[in-house]
Amino acid sequence: MTPAVQHRLDAATFTARVRGVRAEQWDGPTPVPQWRVRDIVGHLVEWLPAFLAAAADVRLEPGPSVADDPVAAWEHHAGTVQAVLDDPASATLVLSDPRFGGMGVRDAIDHLYTPDVFMHTWDLARATGQDDTLDASRCEAMLAGMTAMEEALRASGQYGTPVPVPDDAPVQDRLVGFIGRDPDWTAS
């Protein structure tokens, strides 16, 4: 699957969950203890533009504020990311960040950002009582890839302490546990 197609699919699922958040839920708790529901959207909307600007001089057009309108902020952001992925000119853009060894912008979005959208879909859905089912084959592939580089991932500080789950648990629960979420978490 191309980076553009994968992002389109994952962003569409996340968009459906964003649109399903009721107004009174935006400041509710999430499986990430220090975050509120709107912080999930804020995280996704904020980190990629700064990263692309610094690492590849790619500027994503700013959109509405997450504080004012998280749905509009997300929809704008997802559209701008998709436009980069769909633009034939982006095929030649390369990161200048030495940590990623000349990785192309499309590959960086595909390997660093789109999986973040996929995994945070669970957080948002679980926090707001929506369908939190993730694609099992994608969960399996991500878990295998992440397990192979667990030490580096943990050292990045971007993942919580793993939550133990049984070896025979569904792959989604194992992925969620791996990234530091309790698969049994519910909003109180």
Helix or strand holding residue 7 (H, E): helix 3-19
**Is 171:134 a contact under the CB 8 Å cutoff?**
no
- Token pair listed for 16: 């459906």
pLDDT of 50 higher than 90 = yes
Question: Is pLDDT at 156 greater than 80 in this prediction?
Answer: no
Note the pLDDT tens digit of each residue in 58-94: 999 999 999 999 999 999 999 999 999 999 999 899 9
Helix (H) or strand (E) holding 108: helix 105-108
End-to-end CA, the chain: 38
According to the model, what pLDDT value does residue 147 have? 86
Helix (H, G, I), strand (E, B) or coil at 55: helix
Which residue's entry shows tokens 């789950």? 165
When pLDDT is averaged across residues 2-13 and rounded to a whole number, the result is: 97
Every domain of the chain and the residues it spans: 3-133, 134-188
pLDDT of residue 102: 84
Q: Domain 3-133, what architecture? A: Up-down Bundle (1.20)
pLDDT of res. 151? 81
Distances (CA, A) of 39 to 99, 131, 138, 165: 27, 19, 24, 26
How far from the centroid of its chain's Cα atoms is residue 66's Cα? 16
What pLDDT sits at residue 62?
A: 95
Tell me the helix, strand and coil percentages in the chain, rounded to 5: 60, 0, 35
Q: What are phi and psi of 36, to 5 degrees?
A: -100, 170
Q: Which residues contact 120 (CB under 8 A, 6 or more apart)?
A: 14, 40, 43, 44
* Average pLDDT score over residue span 12-36: 97
- pLDDT confidence tier of residue 148, bands split at 50, 70 and 90: confident
